[in-house]
């Protein structure tokens, strides 16, 4: 069967989303990529824009990402399908580096024990006051983390360079029952859960151990 085609107009949406994620203005990215701000704006706003490979290479470098990610070529594929680097270096991250990579919010994975056995599920998380928190609802799979020791993980893979990192947070997960604490988490949350629905209860993981690893290609 033929390969499915991808919408080239999505490039602008991905460029804008990555730029905003980095906290950069259009003028700043244009300067880093060596292009005119008006052309970058055209790429972001026009669904019919189809920039050349040379421009995309410079733009991907400015946005600290890859051309494949800007084009969406890896959108439906799991991370890490590329080959390993010829001479990789595996190093441990110190606690400061781990928290820097956790940042303030994002999507991570939490381990839970279910009646059918162990499971790992993605959640939108928020880092507040040295803990990791996510909103959910009773009866859902993520809610099974509450009341037990939980493992929470985030990672990033750079397919082009065969590099990446991962951070693991292990600690006790508990329901947030104090109304003031729950309101504080709601105010700090960057986004509502992507899964939607009524997920107004919060689970907080208090870290007992935070570790991380990074792979770099020499």
Domains identified in the chain and CATH numbers: 10-71 (1.10.260.40), 89-217 (2.30.110.10)
Select from 19, 98, 99, 30 the least CA-distant residue to 58: 30
Of 22 and 204, the structure prediction assigns the larger pLDDT to 204
pLDDT value for 105: 93
pLDDT surpasses 70 at 9: no
Residues 6+ apart with CB under 8 A from 116: none
Lowest mean pLDDT segment, chosen from 3-17, 63-77, 170-184: 3-17
pLDDT value for 92: 97
pLDDT in tens, 32-69: 999 999 999 999 998 888 898 899 999 999 998 888 88
Output the pTM of the full model. 0.69
Q: In the numeric block, which tokens belong to residue 91?
A: 């190093």
pLDDT value for 47: 84
pLDDT value for 4: 38
Q: In the numeric block, which tokens belong to residue 133?
A: 């928190």
Q: In the numeric block, which tokens belong to residue 104?
A: 């303030």
**Longest Cα separation, the chain:** 57
């Amino acid at each position: 069967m033929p390969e499915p085609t991808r919408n080239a107009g999505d490039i602008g949406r991905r460029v804008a989303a990555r730029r905003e994620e980095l906290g950069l203005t259009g003028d700043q990215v244009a300067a880093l990529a060596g292009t005119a701000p008006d052309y970058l704006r055209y790429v972001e706003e026009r669904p019919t824009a189809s920039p050349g490979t040379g421009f995309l290479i410079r733009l991907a470098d400015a946005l600290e990402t890859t051309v494949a990610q800007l084009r969406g070529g890896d959108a439906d594929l799991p991370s890490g399908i590329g080959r390993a680097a010829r001479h990789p270096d595996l190093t441990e991250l110190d606690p400061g580096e781990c928290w820097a990579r956790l940042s303030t919010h994002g999507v991570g994975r939490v381990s839970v024990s279910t009646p059918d056995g162990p499971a790992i599920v993605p959640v939108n998380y928020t880092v507040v006051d040295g803990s990791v928190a996510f909103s959910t609802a009773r009866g859902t799979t993520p809610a099974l983390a509450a009341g037990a020791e939980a493992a929470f993980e985030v990672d990033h893979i750079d397919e082009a360079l065969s590099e990446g990192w991962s951070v693991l947070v292990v600690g006790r997960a508990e329901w947030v029952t104090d109304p003031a604490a729950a309101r504080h988490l709601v105010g700090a949350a960057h986004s509502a859960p992507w899964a939607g629905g009524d997920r107004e209860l919060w689970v907080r993981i208090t870290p007992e151990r935070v570790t991380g690893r990074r792979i770099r290609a020499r």
